Amino acid sequence: MTKLTIEEPLTLPSGQVIKNRFLKSAMSETFAKDGHPNQQHVNLYRAWSHGGAGLLFTGNVMIDHTALGEPGNVVVEDERDLPILKEWAAAGTENNAQFCMQINHPGKQSYRTLSKEPVAPSAIAFTGIYATVFNKPRALSKDEIKELVNKFTRTAVIAKEAGFTGVEIHAAHGYLIDQFLSPKDNQRQDEYGGSLENRMRFLIEVYESIRHAVGDDFPVGMKLNSTDFEPGGFSEDDSIKVVEKMSELGIDLIEISGGNYLNPAMSEGPKEGSNDAYFINYARKIKDLTDTPIALTGGFLSEAAMETALEQKDTELVGIGRPMVLIPDLPNRVMNGTYATIKLPILKTRVPFIDKNAGPLVANSYYEQQMGQIAAGEEPKYSTNGWSPFLRLIRLHGISGLMPRRVKR
């Protein structure tokens, strides 16, 4: 049998070898109680490492317990959870998989049930439906920015100590670093705002500080938006320049995604564009501009799409999220010829207001439930019924946390 391109190993600039081209992308597990990882994390990543992917990313791990992206996030700020972090890292590196911790700060994208007054580059509130779920942020001081650079670094150092084989800086999907990159969210007048060079400064400081602390042979990657699809926001041109700059600085891997809560292109794809890998047109634009390995994430379903993207060198790794929840051993199935392309379920409560306004949240809640199934040693359940994931959201946030309210600006 001829070997598939997807089975070929990849060596990162730091020297780490990834045994094949499958990346299990970050998906927030929401299992943690008070920020502590637990046995569910261990079980889930053991299932995934045995599923055959060469590289696994954790769901986003928060660097600051006062700033959570969603309830149930893991927080790593100090060494108190080192024993369970070591177990988690060991489970995710079984079967010769590489296992990186994705590290994140949500900035203003922190539910109002979690953050009374979130922080952001500038005090600019969400508009539209999300104005009801996120509170208006306050702008970070320069001292606080420096403190957050230290916190990102501390989390990365602890990840290394625990046995994770790399870290991924989350600079996509509208979270804090992405907010700094966006001229719409970042209207600072100091050296962190204005020109792209200034808007990139926080990302670069985080990267360089981590690199200095973990050394050249420990992989440090990032997740970046191709664009956030917002008028006046982080554009494709800006994104290309960030890729060039971060490559020049020696980053090991750039994972490409797109969108944010307002424009959930990461899970629905851009409005117009390819049906398969959502951001492949962007990947084609950057492939000759950088030698840094690229991982393309979002929309991969068929083996043909994965193979073609790799054969054409549009990407070096195929990032897969939701299909890895529905079929945790998807990579093994592709490699042993038993994978049949799946369709992602479209979750509906059939209440138009809920489906229109909370659709992406309900879908995420469904995948979180299925990660719970895998962690419990059960098979994930394929379903299109949005009620159970919706009711779970209500349990997590309370009905008032999700409902529209009068917003003071």
Ligand X SMILES: Cc1cc2nc3c(=O)[nH]c(=O)nc-3n(C[C@H](O)[C@H](O)[C@H](O)COP(=O)(O)O)c2cc1C
Instruction: Out of 12, 27, 140, 283, point to the residue binding ligand X (CB under 6 A).
Output: 27
Toward ligand X, which CB reaches closer, 187 or 369? 369
Minimum CB distance to ligand X, residue 308 (Å): 16
**Could you say whether residue 279 binds ligand X (CB under 6 A)?**
no
In terms of CB distance, is 158 or 193 closer to ligand X? 158
Shortest gap between Cβ of 262 and ligand X (angstroms)?
15
**3 state SS of 359:** helix
Contacting ligand X (CB under 6 A), which of 49, 98, 102, 115? 102
Q: Which of 153, 225, 267, 315 binds ligand X (CB under 6 A)?
A: 267
Q: Which region, judged by CB under 6 A, interacts with ligand X, from 23-31, 82-90, 110-118, 238-246?
A: 23-31
By three-state DSSP, how is residue 254 classified?
A: strand
Whole-Å CA distances, 54 to 12, 59, 170, 257 = 12, 16, 20, 19
**Taking CB positions, which residue lies at the least distance from ligand X?**
321
Instruction: Give CA angle at 168 (162, 304), nearest 5°.
Output: 120
Cβ closer to ligand X: 18 or 320? Answer: 320
Shortest spacing between CB 73 and ligand X, in angstroms = 8
Structure tokens at 100: 């990186």
Q: Under rule CB under 6 A, which residues in 136-195 are in contact with ligand X?
A: 170, 172-173
278 near 270, Cβ under 8 Å?
yes
User: What DSSP string describes 310-334?
Assistant: HHTTS-SEEEE-HHHHH-TTHHHHH
| Positions 186 through 225 that interact with ligand X (CB under 6 A) | 223
Which residue type occupies 247? Answer: S
Q: Give the residue from 250, 265, 106 showing the smallest Cα distance to 177.
A: 106
246 forms beta bridges with: none
Tokens of 298: 């979002």
Count Cβ neighbours within 10 Å for each residue of 383-393 and write b for 16 or more, e otherwise.
eeebeebbebb
Give strand pairing partners of 23.
55, 319
Contact 212, 204 (CB under 8 A): no
Q: Which residue has the tokens 């009374």?
A: 116
Q: How far is the CB of 123 from ligand X (least distance, A)?
A: 25
- Smallest distance, ligand X to C-beta of residue 291, A: 23
Q: Residue 359 is encoded by which pair of tokens?
A: 């659709």
Residue number, 106 or 233, with CB nearest to ligand X = 106
Asked whether position 41 contacts ligand X by CB under 6 A, the answer is no
Q: Could you tell me which residues are beta bridge partners of residue 374?
A: none
Asked if residue 298 binds ligand X (CB under 6 A), the reply is yes
| Residue 100 touches ligand X, criterion: CB under 6 A | no
Rule CB under 6 A: say whether 320 interacts with ligand X. yes
Give whichever of 122 and 260 is closer to ligand X, judged by the CB atom: 260
Q: Is 299 an interacting residue with respect to ligand X (CB under 6 A)?
A: yes
List the one residue from 37, 51, 52, 59 that touches ligand X (CB under 6 A): 59
Binding flag, residue 368, ligand X (CB under 6 A): yes
> Is residue 322 at the binding interface for ligand X, with CB under 6 A as the rule?
yes
Number of residues that bind ligand X (CB under 6 A): 25
Least spacing, CB of residue 376 vs ligand X, in Å: 17
In this chain, which of 257, 263, 292, 315 binds ligand X, going by CB under 6 A?
Answer: 257
Cβ-based nearer residue to ligand X, 172 or 402: 172
- Which CB atom, from 12 or from 27, has the smaller least distance to ligand X? 27
Spell out a b/e string for 289-318, using b for 16 or more CB atoms within 10 Å of the CB, else e: ebebbbbbbbbbbebebbbebbeeebbbbb
CB nearer to ligand X: give 28 or 135.
Answer: 28
Assess 364 for contact with ligand X (CB under 6 A): yes
Query: First and final CA of the chain: distance in angstroms?
Result: 63
Give, in degrees to the nearest 5, the angle at Cα 88 between 86 and 92: 115
Is 16 an interacting residue with respect to ligand X (CB under 6 A)?
A: no
- State how far the Cα of 237 lies from the Cα of 242, in Å rounded to an integer: 9
In angstroms, the CA 156 to CA 58 distance is: 13
Asked whether the beta carbons of 255 and 278 are under 8 A apart, the reply is no
The residue length of the chain stands at: 409
Which spans of this chain sit near ligand X (rule: CB under 6 A)? 25-28, 59-60, 102, 170, 172-173, 223, 257, 266-267, 297-300, 320-323, 364, 367-368
